Structure 1
Amino acid sequence: MRMNGWLDTPQRYGRISRAFHWLMAALFAWQFAGALLYVAIGDTALTRFVGGSHFTLGFTLFVLVLLRGLWGLANVARRPPHPGRLGRAAVTGHAFIYLLMVLTPGLALLRQYGSGKPFTPYGLPLMPGRDTKIAWMVAPGDLLHHWLGFTLLVVVLGHAAMALIHRRVRQEDVLARMA
């Protein structure tokens, strides 16, 4: 089977990597829009509409980031290089984004399980309900999920800004490798 265009190359990311990137960017934009609306205007019909998918979409993003990470590891030797000091900074920034993309929904899933409430994304019985709450599972999510989510938003905005800075200031079209 020919894989031209599907796999990453040193010149550009392949179709699968790009699909993961842009699908997740769109889903995160929806998640962030719902969170920002809730902070700005509180519990309204609009925030319930946008935020009503928050749990299921968060689970979806968690699964996608795990799949994307595995795909990235499988392609690491073929991916565009990140040479020099700025390249190491880019790799560190991407690692931080991945850490936040795993930790933020991971804590929410831990909190959901600890709450004792059932969780059935897409109708799949992922977590059964129970009568007892497990406080140590709920506490980290209550404490950190919100803040890590907004930290992820800031880091993602910085990621997008760096792509634009590379293009405008450094005359390097790094965005074209992912577009």
Structure 2
Amino acid sequence: MTKDQSTLFDHPEGYGAISRALHWLMAALFAWQFLSVILHAVDREMPAARFFWSWHMSVGFLLLIAVVLRGVWALVNLGNRPRHAAGFLGVAARLGHLALYLLMLAVPTVAVLRAYGSGRGFSAFGIEVFAGGGERIPELMAPANAVHGLLGWALLALTLGHIAMALAHTYLWRQDTLTRMVRGRPAPIGGAE
């Protein structure tokens, strides 16, 4: 079976199983993160807020791993991926996706740097990622203190825009954009798979 025939790899008509699995896994993890931040902002003493917030760093680290894997997988599939439309919307889509990837990488990276700079160490889901050195490194903590929250809110805004555009392509303009990420390739003419 070639790359073109495999359902694992991306294809110009749709995304493969691995791209789709990473996309929807990350969507669920981002929903968790955004919910944890919103609840924390509303009332950090609320039991639901404390529960979701207690997993915020672990889920954020998992997202960092997932975005790196997704980026590598996207590069493996670069020549096979569905193309963006031509014109203004295509350029906007490319720039929007680039901004999403950069923020998905930057937000958790600065948080990990802050954790390292705190000197306390860091564990994700109970697994030690690095031990605490005991000494604070303000130069590593300052960037995250300055931008982590701001970039996180920007990521939420871009994510909502991404969702809105996927729905607009599907329901307003009747294009198969969402189908490519839900089912992969569109069904052949005649409906046979």
**Residue 162 of structure 2 corresponds to residue 165 of structure 1:** no
Q: Secondary structure at the match of 1:160?
A: helix
Residue pairs, 1:1-12, within 5 angstroms: 4-12=6-14
Considering fraction of residues, name the structure with more helix.
1
Deviation at 1:105, TM superposition (A): 0.3
Matched, 1:174 2:182: no
Q: What residue number does 2:72 align with? A: 70
Q: Which amino acid aligns with 2:28?
A: A
Q: Structure 1 residue 121: deviation in Å?
A: 1.4
The structure with the largest strand share of the pair is 2
Q: Contact 2:44 / 2:50 at 8 angstroms: preserved in 1?
A: no
Name 2:134's counterpart in structure 1.
Answer: 131
The ranges of structure 1 where at least 4 consecutive aligned residues each deviate by more than 4 angstroms after the TM superposition are none
Deviates more, 1:152-161 or 1:120-129: 120-129
How far, CA to CA, are the matches of 2:156 and 2:168 in structure 1? 18
Q: For residues 53-87 of structure 1, what are the alpha-carbon distances to aligned partners after superposition, in whole Å with 9 as ceiling and x for unaligned? A: 11111000001000000000110100111131221
Taking only aligned residues, the RMSD between alpha carbons, in angstroms, comes to 1.3
What is the DSSP-based 3-state SS (H/G/I as helix, E as strand, rest coil) of the residue aligned with 2:50?
helix
The separation in 1 between residues aligned to 2:142 and 2:7, in whole angstroms, is: 45
Structure 2: unaligned runs, 5 residues or longer: 183-193
Separation of aligned partners in 1, 2:117 and 2:26: 27
**8 A contact 2:64–2:109 mirrored in 1:** yes
Q: Which runs of 5 or more residues in structure 1 are unaligned?
A: none
Residues 1-43 of structure 1: per-residue CA shift (max 9 Å, x gap)? 6662111001000000000000000010001001000111223
Query: Which whole-Å CA distance do the structure 1 matches of 2:149 and 2:45 have between them?
Result: 16
Q: Which of the numbers 13, 21, 24 marks the counterpart of 2:23?
A: 21
What is residue 122 of structure 1 aligned with on the other side?
Answer: 125
Count of residues paired in the alignment: 179
Higher RCO, Cα 8 Å, sep 6+: 2
Further displaced range: 118-127 or 4-13: 118-127
Kindly indicate whether the alpha-carbon contact (under 8 Å) linking 2:22 and 2:70 is maintained by their aligned counterparts in 1: yes
Equivalent residue, structure 1, for 2:57:
55
**Residue 67 of structure 2 contacts residue 104 of structure 2 at CA under 8 Å; is this kept in 1?**
yes
**Which piece of structure 1 moves more, 71-80 or 114-123?**
114-123
> 1:157, 1:173 → 2: CA distance?
19
| Structure (1 or 2) with the larger CA radius of gyration | 2
Deviates more, 1:154-163 or 1:87-96: 87-96
